[in-house]
């Protein structure tokens, strides 16, 4: 499938224009519940990619131990060591009201404590009608408690193959998901993503892989353009940060969509599809740019550094000249 430029053009219309009288936060306040002592980099990469693409503020809600590490990465991040506080529930509730969208999962870990943070984070995000991006450890844990998110349409899940397989087989207990077989075509993979999204109440799934597949249970689009040939760690976290920002912009620019969702019949009418497809295309574009410069040595930090120029060329140029 060639690039669907009509989706990118629609996204371009939804990107907020910059004005001299804009105030701090207007470009996006992104919240992240994530990070742990072992995986502090995931939350950092998600946070920085959202800032590099145009968010004004990015907040990381994490544990005290992880916060001291993450704070050393950049002074641009707002790092809040509240998750292992005795009053973490009320503190998550307090900060959630400030966010335009929230990411739950990157680097959070798979402990019982992490699951409690996820439950509270999801509860608060849904109560404030905030768009949610769910990634990595949150996906793993949610497979056993999918009712926490089922039916919440302002949500995008971003599973890789293993995470998708776990979600699919937990949902359809009598079916095995095996896309390694030579008999499994792209069409069948798309149908599986569509089937799961529909069963989960028409939330949106962006299944990551050689070909990214996106569906809300009705519409299906996919992205097969080539990105970096090196699959370094952190690319998924980078895309998650972009996706959260893009999801905020698309939902803000298409207010009322979810009140009339039954009428949506194409990808151009669905903010989640527009945000997910654009984030997938843009991530691969940036990773390809970085790979062409650094080849085998490319790392996530190199891809982060390509976001500024790539975004300007793809979405801002004609509006800022």
Q: Which residues are annotated as a binding site?
A: 107, 160-166, 208-212, 227-237
Is 21 buried (19+), middle (13-18) or exposed (0-12) by CB count in 10 A?
exposed
Between CA 15 and CA 290 the distance in angstroms is 24
Between CA 60 and CA 70 the distance in angstroms is 9
Between CA 312 and CA 157 the distance in angstroms is 27
How many angstroms separate the most distant Cα atoms in the chain? 58
User: Sheet holding 204-207: strands in order across?
Assistant: 78-81, 57-62, 29-33, 101-104, 132-134, 155-157, 204-207, 212-215, 220-223
Is 173 buried (19+), middle (13-18) or exposed (0-12) by CB count in 10 A?
exposed
Give the residue ranges of the annotated binding site for ATP.
Answer: 208-212, 227-236
Residue 1: both structure tokens together: 């499938």
Phi–psi pair at 160, nearest 5 degrees: -85, -170
Is 236 buried (19+), middle (13-18) or exposed (0-12) by CB count in 10 A?
buried
> Which residues does residue 29 pair with via DSSP β-bridges, in sequence order?
57
Strands 212-215 vs 101-104: parallel, antiparallel or unpaired: unpaired
Give the residue ranges of the annotated binding site for (6S)-NADPHX.
Answer: 107, 160-166, 237
């Amino acid at each position: 499938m060639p690039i669907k430029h009509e989706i990118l053009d629609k996204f371009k219309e939804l990107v907020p224009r910059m004005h001299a009288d804009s105030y701090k936060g207007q470009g996006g306040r992104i919240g992240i519940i994530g990070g742990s002592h072992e995986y502090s980099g995931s939350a950092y990469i998600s946070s920085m990619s959202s800032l590099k693409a145009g968010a004004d503020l990015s907040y990381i809600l994490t544990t005290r131990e992880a916060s001291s590490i993450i704070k050393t990465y950049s002074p641009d991040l707002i790092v809040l060591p509240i998750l292992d506080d005795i009053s973490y529930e009320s503190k998550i509730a307090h900060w959630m009201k400030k966010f335009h969208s929230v990411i739950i999962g990157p680097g959070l870990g798979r402990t019982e404590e992490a699951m409690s943070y996820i439950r509270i984070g999801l509860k608060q995000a849904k109560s404030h009608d905030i768009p949610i991006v769910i990634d990595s450890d949150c996906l793993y844990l949610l497979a056993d408690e999918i009712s926490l998110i089922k039916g919440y349409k302002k949500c995008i899940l971003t599973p890789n193959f293993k995470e998708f397989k776990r979600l699919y087989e937990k949902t359809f207990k009598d079916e095995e998901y095996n896309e390694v077989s030579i008999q499994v075509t792209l069409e069948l993979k798309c149908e599986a993503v569509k089937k799961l999204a529909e069963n989960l109440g028409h939330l949106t799934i962006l299944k990551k892989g050689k070909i990214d597949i996106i569906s809300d249970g009705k519409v299906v689009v996919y992205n097969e353009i080539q990105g970096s040939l090196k699959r370094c760690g952190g690319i998924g976290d980078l895309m998650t940060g972009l996706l959260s920002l893009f999801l905020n912009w698309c939902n803000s620019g298409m207010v009322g969509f979810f009140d009339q969702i039954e009428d949506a019949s194409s990808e151009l009418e669905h903010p989640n599809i527009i945000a997910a497809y654009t984030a997938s295309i843009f991530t691969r574009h940036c990773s390809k740019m970085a790979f062409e410069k650094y080849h085998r040595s490319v790392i996530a930090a190199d891809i982060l550094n390509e976001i500024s120029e790539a975004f300007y060329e793809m979405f801002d140029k004609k509006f800022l000249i």
